[in-house]
Structure 1
């Protein structure tokens, strides 16, 4: 009985840890989206400045911002994939737990 309680507690702990990791990745996505929005705003300001005063903004500034925007987009895409994988893993863990509970109930009914 004691072993079953420990197993159950370990599984519940694993569920919470897994869910916590999903939440962390979700937060990383939000951080990247915020950074991306700021970069796009900065790029727009540079473009407006360049329209008012042609050649006032160096081309390297646009290149740098474009690279940073591209990097943020890649990060967001990677984090979304990771979050999806983590959610699938958590669903599998929950399904396995449900099967074990059903099996345990069936075993109890048989006795």
Structure 2
């Protein structure tokens, strides 16, 4: 019983401090930038990218304007853009940072492209 209570407290504490749940880290995003369709790393994984120079559009019918959560497990800052070709309104995401719900940053379903800074 005590172990269960401690486990629940650890999960709640991790959620409050912005630490990603273990299940999200298990999808092959170690050292990469990953972006999901839904909040809390659910739904389709649309982006799974290593650090690359230059602007990258989020491809396809499914993907751009669909991103609701992300892990930036690279050591680099990434800048998300609301339009293709790294144009428009943007959001900076620090290296090794998690955003389980981009609605909190007023950027839910906005990202169409990104660039590592």
TM-score by length of 1: 0.25
TM-score by length of 2: 0.24
- Higher RCO (C-alpha 8 Å, min separation 6): 1
- The structure that has the greater radius of gyration is 1
Structure 1 or 2: more strand by fraction = 2
